[in-house]
Amino acid sequence: MKIVVLDGYTENPGDLSWGGFEALGELTVYNRTKAEEIAGRIGDAEIVITNKTPISSATMEKCPNIRYIGVLATGYNVVDTEAARKRDIAVSNIPTYGTDAVGQFAIALLLEICHHIGHHSMEVRRGRWENNPDWCFWDYPLIELAGKTMGVIGFGRIGRTTARIAQSMGMKVLAYDEYRNPDFEKEGCRYAELSELLAESDVIALHCPLFPSTEGMINKETIAKMKDGVIILNNSRGALIKEQDLAEALASGKVYAAGLDVVSTEPIKEDNPLLSAPNCFITPHISWAPRESRKRLMDIAVHNLKAFLEG
Ligand code: NAD
């Protein structure tokens, strides 16, 4: 059984170990794989493991031995699942490994926006402390969150985690999900239709998956329905947001700030309009990556593959 890992981050693995996979077959781990290398590297392997490398219908066509694609992530939009289904290729994702980490990171983005800790920490190193003739710490205003309203779009595992942490800071939570669920009220949140959530939230956190129906859901029209000075958080998938529209809203002040761990094209392109917005806080898709989550990710990935091999 040949197992090919297309993006195993071998150059900088941290404490990731591929030992669990080694025990299950003949393992080849690549650091990263470019689009034109994908089919050649998979070759006649039966098992493909990917994190962000896309597996298209064309790749499945060129590599007819594939029987299983393990996605080392929660979101599985990197795989053409419809094409996989037609070819009887099993696809597994790992929905639970990073729920706490990703919720925590959404709140970390929010807290950075509300406190500018990175900025103030640098200012102290430049010799500044509270008021100076040429500088004042409240040029970077601090924002109290208690009593403010967070709207969570996509009230699944991560959305609920973000909501719970927000509630623990005294925020009210409005929840919108494609599937309304009586549990929302049990969680102390109020269900809101999308238009109501957009109009009433001081902070909007995106936690729904990227589907054709959700792509570009934050755009000129939906931003216009939001409160002036809203904060937008996205550590789900970048393409949920039309980035040019968000950049314009950040420049006009309609959106006070955005905290993004994901962008539409990753790694981020130099001409991404959000890069020139000082009120846009961007991190390189790392919400998933605390040491504890990565260990859980690898353990579950091996467990999933074993379960597949055992039928
Ligand atoms: P989940 O399936 O538990 O929750 C997703 C929720 O979104 C579900 O309740 C679903 O009903 C809802 N939803 C689907 N379509 C919707 C729509 N059109 N409008 C509103 N809600 C809709 O998934 P999860 O574990 O909470 O993960 C959410 C997303 O987080 C993943 O899809 C992934 O893209 C992202 N993620 C990002 C990172 C990262 O490192 N940045 C890590 C893990 C997951």
The predicted pLDDT at position 59 comes to 98
Q: Check pocket membership of 237 for ligand 1, CB cut-off 6 A.
A: yes
The predicted pLDDT at position 136 comes to 78
The predicted pLDDT at position 202 comes to 99
- Residue pLDDT, tens place only, 160-206: 999 999 999 999 999 999 998 877 888 899 999 999 999 999 999 99
Confidence check: pLDDT of 158 > 90: yes
Pairing verdict, β 26-29 and 2-5: parallel
Residues 6+ apart with CB under 8 A from 142: 114, 115, 116
Q: Check pocket membership of 95 for ligand 1, CB cut-off 6 A.
A: yes
Q: Check pocket membership of 157 for ligand 1, CB cut-off 6 A.
A: yes
131 backbone dihedrals φ, ψ, rounded to 5° = -85, 140
C-beta of residue 300 within 8 angstroms of C-beta of residue 19: no
Provide the H-helix boundaries in 25-168: 38-42, 57-62, 81-86, 99-115, 117-125, 157-168
Higher pLDDT, 260 or 16: 260
Closest Cα to atom 8 of ligand 1:
156
Q: Which of 207, 262, 264, 293 to mutate to test the pocket of ligand 1 (most atoms within 8 A of CB)?
A: 207
Residues 6+ apart with CB under 8 A from 181: 155
Lowest mean pLDDT among 35-44, 129-138, 168-177, 202-211: 129-138
Q: Which of 208, 217, 218, 264 to mutate to test the pocket of ligand 1 (most atoms within 8 A of CB)?
A: 208
Q: Check pocket membership of 156 for ligand 1, CB cut-off 6 A.
A: yes
Q: How far is the CA of 296 from the centre of ligand 1 (A)?
A: 19
The predicted pLDDT at position 180 comes to 87
Catalytic residue numbers, as ranges: 237, 266, 285
Please give the average per-residue pLDDT across 16-35, as a whole number: 92
Quote the CA–CA distance of 209 and 197 in Å, as a whole number.
18
Q: Check pocket membership of 294 for ligand 1, CB cut-off 6 A.
A: no
- Residue pLDDT, tens place only, 220-269: 999 999 999 999 999 999 999 999 999 999 999 999 999 999 999 999 99
Quote the CA–CA distance of 105 and 51 in Å, as a whole number.
19
Q: How far is the CA of 158 from the centre of ligand 1 (A)?
A: 7
Confidence check: pLDDT of 138 > 90: no
Residue 127 binned pLDDT confidence (cut-offs 50, 70, 90):
confident
210 backbone dihedrals φ, ψ, rounded to 5° = -85, 115
Q: Check pocket membership of 162 for ligand 1, CB cut-off 6 A.
A: no
Closest Cα to atom 37 of ligand 1:
236
The predicted pLDDT at position 276 comes to 97
Please give the average per-residue pLDDT across 201-222, as a whole number: 97
Q: Which of 97, 102, 184 to mutate to test the pocket of ligand 1 (most atoms within 8 A of CB)?
A: 102
Confidence check: pLDDT of 134 > 80: no
**Strand, helix or coil for residue 58:** helix
The predicted pLDDT at position 185 comes to 87
Confidence check: pLDDT of 13 > 90: no
Higher pLDDT, 281 or 123: 281
From the alpha carbon of 176, which atom of ligand 1 is closest? 20
Q: How far is the CA of 54 from the centre of ligand 1 (A)?
A: 19
